[in-house]
Structure 1
Amino acid sequence: MEYKTSAASAAGADDSARRRFLKLASTAAAASVLPVGVGAAAPAQPGYDVVVVGGGFAGVTAARELAHRGARVLLLEARNRLGGRTFHANFGERKVELGGTWIHYTQPHVWAEVMRYGMEIAETPGVAHPDRVLWMSEGKVLEIPVMENWALLEDALKRFHAEAGEVFERPFMAGLSAAGRKLDHLSIADRMAAIEMSPAQRDLMNAMMATNCHGPIASGAYTEMLRWWSLVDGDAARLLYSCARYKLKDGTSTLIERMAEDGGFDVRLSTAVVELSQDAAGVSLVTEADERISARFAVVAVPVNTTGQIEFSPPLLPGKTAMAKEHHAGKGHKLYLKVKGRLETLIFFAPETELFTMVFTDQPGEDGGVLVAFGPPVDGRVDLNDPKAVEPFVRRFLPHLAVEQVLGYDWGLDPYSRGTWCTLRPGQFGKHLEDLRAREGRVFFAGADIATGWRGFIDGAIESGLQVGQAVAAELRGRA
């Protein structure tokens, strides 16, 4: 893992980017706090009931639920920290989240954990109460009063998502309805092309949709956005707030630490699994260090883009192997920009042809502050580590600002993620999701990428971990 901001894909990254990635990995790890009592060398004792592979929110949730029900659980995490695709670092005098960040009370599973452990919430000012909203259309920066802008966006969003009620009558139900299957071949771009909008409105919508799918709108499935819309009951403001308004005041690491401390399970960090086999008696895992570990059951809680790095015997279902090759659409970048000059509380948008699609104030200030910026993959066209390379984009909106520092994390280069949050591509929902969620013998699968509700979010990871934890606990009771 690494503090860097190049959004080049793992296949296309040059050697210097990879060297920088590896060099900075130790710095990144040092910035994350490990849970009290969790070490990298917990002994792999015989007689485990369950081995959980993956220490993100899904894996930790499943491990906690099983341990609370009396199971002997060992969690294996390839990184030297827990948290998966949530991860913080120091940026000046503040901690910033380089991966999953925001939560909302529309997300029941994570909100319940926040209430359970008494976590404090903070707001992101540029989303919670922007004083200005700007967007780029046909190369020009436009601005109208905030409420008029929201009305313009809401009109487009409601027409874009007109079929959400029919497709997702109950958005947390597993699977895709018959109505959804008829639409699953469509991309976000396909749906956009079918809607009449002004050029300014179209570019505003493009910016929001490209941010949501974290890639070009041609790569994200229309059904994925219909699901998001149904989860917020068709409310435009609630959609934005659910994605980027509230966050944990002391960072996502504090929540996963509390969950791990509460869990009562063993943890092995820096332990990558390369083989997983099963028979009628149980499961057997082989680590990268050629260590053998056995248990009665296994929970695999790794991103779908990475399942191909584990050799399964017998082989996985076709949907799982297909997704490991195809990958989902989330491949973009997220950066923090420290700027010099007066920074107001604002948000601005630009279409996917630009460097960033959505930028908002994280920390305002009279003499400077911090912006959060999202954008599609740049494939090496711009050095996102260079403040002067990203400054021209910012200055098109705010000419008085200078970009002094940039910080991001390349999840595409991270071998244990190979992408950012999960947005399925056209056709993947209907073709693969049932296989992705399916149990295979003694091996169960969990993760944000295969959640039924807030797929790709912290909430989805916890939802999936809860469900799988319950399912494995039932198996253990039945076989006791």
Structure 2
Amino acid sequence: MSVLDRLEQCKDQLSRNQYEFIVANVVGMGGTDMSSISYFDQLHRWALCGGREAVEYLNHNVRYKLKYGQSGLTRNLSYSFSTPIHSINHSAASCVTANCTDGRVFSAPYIKKELVFVPQLPPPKAEGIAHGRRNIVKKVHIQAEGKKWRSWSANRVSWAGDQVSREPSAFMALGESHSLSGEDSNLVFFVVGNIDPVAQPAQQVAETENLHPDLKVKRMVTIDWEKDPYSKGGWACHSPGCLTKYLTALQVPVGNLKFASGDYPDGWRGYIDGAIESGMLAAKEVDDELRDGQTGLAKL
């Protein structure tokens, strides 16, 4: 069932404002048309946030942070930047190799990645990976003049007949009460529409300032996740039926290959929390199997 299916079932119980508020939030969080967003995936997220009222949902989504922040997490990770992998070979029983585009080869008893696998992955897992997610939402950080925007929020959705229009953009915006910008406010926007904030920053600023006559933008920071070769879009937002068909297949290991992703944990899908959950479970599997008698130390 899609979000659109569910809204069609209960739209007679909602006022126009209530309906538009739901649409702006769902499209802002899902980054695609409501017919392509799983209702049960959204319901799962709502339940994790308490499942009682919108303010509780927003507080869980916006105000919960990692204890030491993303910088603290980054400093405790091991990684190699600018090292694209073009294929992974797991044909050997005791070793997996990752072949990089610059000629380097990394080997380990276990490895995690999504690319070209030799031999190919089982059909259900390969189909699930290829199916991917549908989120093309753009996240925009705005520094606005004045402190009054710290407790401000806005939702906007436009219509073309009875369909949501992408022009002008749909917005979900939230002010940060803990803004560190002195006399100004930090605002976070989730934008879905025809304007590209990276390629058309002036148009994005104009769209933002049109939300309120007193809103003046001093600075804007954004990134296009959709065009990034690694993220290929925003956080996970699954289509109807996707998780019912593929969730288990996406989670299970294939030989020495362990799979971890923020896209398909049991808990917080689309969040750092979910990526940590999935990664810790995969790491525990590796640790348990190595302790049970398999030899070798991971290099990747």
Give distance in 2, aligned partners of 1:470 and 1:366: 44
Kindly indicate whether residue 84 of structure 2 is the aligned counterpart of residue 272 of structure 1: yes
Q: Is the 8 A contact 1:343 1:365 kept in 2?
A: no
Alignment deviations for residues 57-116 of structure 1 (CA, whole Å, 9 cap, x no partner): xxxxxxxxxxxxxxxxxxxxxxxxxxxxxxxxxxxxxxxxxxxxxxxxxxxxxxxxxxxx
Q: Which residue of 2 aligns with 1:233?
A: 50
* 2:33 aligned counterpart, secondary structure: coil
Q: Which residue of 2 aligns with 1:164?
A: none
Alignment deviations for residues 13-33 of structure 1 (CA, whole Å, 9 cap, x no partner): xxxxxxxxxxxxxxxxxxxxx
Q: Report the AA paired with residue 252 of structure 1.
A: Q
* 1:446 aligned counterpart, secondary structure: coil
Q: Which residue of 2 aligns with 1:242?
A: 60
Q: CA deviation at 1:340?
A: 3.5
Q: CA 1:475 to 1:367, structure 2 compared with 1: closer, same or farther past 3 Å?
A: closer
Q: TM-score scaled by structure 1?
A: 0.54
Kindly indicate whether residue 185 of structure 2 is the aligned counterpart of residue 369 of structure 1: yes
Give distance in 1, aligned partners of 2:230 and 2:220: 23
Ranked by relative contact order (alpha carbons within 8 Å, sequence separation 6 or more), the top structure is 1
Q: CA 1:228 to 1:249, structure 2 compared with 1: closer, same or farther past 3 Å?
A: closer
Q: Is the 8 A contact 1:359 1:371 kept in 2?
A: yes
Q: Which residue of 2 aligns with 1:338?
A: 143
Q: Structure 1 residue runs of 4+, over 6 Å off?
A: 364-367
Give distance in 2, aligned partners of 1:420 and 1:316: 25
Counterpart selection for 1:411 from 209, 214, 225? 225
Report the identity percentage: 27
**Correspondences of 1:1-20 after superposition (within 5 Å):** none
Q: CA 1:267 to 1:229, structure 2 compared with 1: closer, same or farther past 3 Å?
A: closer
**Correspondences of 1:125-164 after superposition (within 5 Å):** none
Q: Which residue of 1 aligns with 2:257?
A: 443
Q: Is the 8 A contact 1:229 1:239 kept in 2?
A: yes
Q: Which residue of 2 aligns with 1:194?
A: 9
**Correspondences of 1:64-463 after superposition (within 5 Å):** 186-195=1-10, 196-236=13-53, 237-247=55-65, 251-257=69-75, 259-260=76-77, 267-278=79-90, 279-300=92-113, 307=114, 310-340=115-145, 343-344=148-149, 345-351=151-157, 353=165, 354-362=168-176, 363=179, 368-376=184-192, 378=193, 381-385=194-198, 386-463=200-277
Gaps spanning 5+ residues in structure 2: where? 158-163, 295-300
Give distance in 2, aligned partners of 1:291 and 1:367: 50
* 2:112 aligned counterpart, secondary structure: strand
Give distance in 2, aligned partners of 1:343 and 1:392: 19
Q: Which range moved further: 344-353 or 310-319?
A: 344-353
Q: CA 1:382 to 1:212, structure 2 compared with 1: closer, same or farther past 3 Å?
A: closer
Q: TM-score scaled by structure 2?
A: 0.84
Q: CA deviation at 1:383?
A: 4.2
* 1:297 aligned counterpart, secondary structure: coil
Give distance in 1, aligned partners of 2:275 and 2:97: 25
Give distance in 1, aligned partners of 2:5 and 2:283: 38
Give distance in 1, aligned partners of 2:260 and 2:187: 33
Give distance in 2, aligned partners of 1:245 and 1:194: 32
Give distance in 1, aligned partners of 2:28 and 2:132: 18
Q: Is the 8 A contact 1:343 1:366 kept in 2?
A: no
Give distance in 2, aligned partners of 1:213 and 1:248: 23
Alignment deviations for residues 101-143 of structure 1 (CA, whole Å, 9 cap, x no partner): xxxxxxxxxxxxxxxxxxxxxxxxxxxxxxxxxxxxxxxxxxx
Q: CA deviation at 1:277?
A: 1.3
Q: Which residue of 2 aligns with 1:12?
A: none
Give distance in 2, aligned partners of 1:388 and 1:296: 50
Q: CA 1:448 to 1:312, structure 2 compared with 1: closer, same or farther past 3 Å?
A: same
Q: Report the AA paired with residue 9 of structure 2.
A: A
Q: Report the AA paired with residue 274 of structure 2.
A: G
Q: Is the 8 A contact 2:29 2:137 kept in 1?
A: no
Q: CA 1:474 to 1:383, structure 2 compared with 1: closer, same or farther past 3 Å?
A: closer
Kindly indicate whether residue 275 of structure 2 is the aligned counterpart of residue 470 of structure 1: no
Q: Is the 8 A contact 1:224 1:424 kept in 2?
A: yes
Gaps spanning 5+ residues in structure 1: where? 1-185, 261-265, 301-306
Q: CA 1:383 to 1:272, structure 2 compared with 1: closer, same or farther past 3 Å?
A: closer
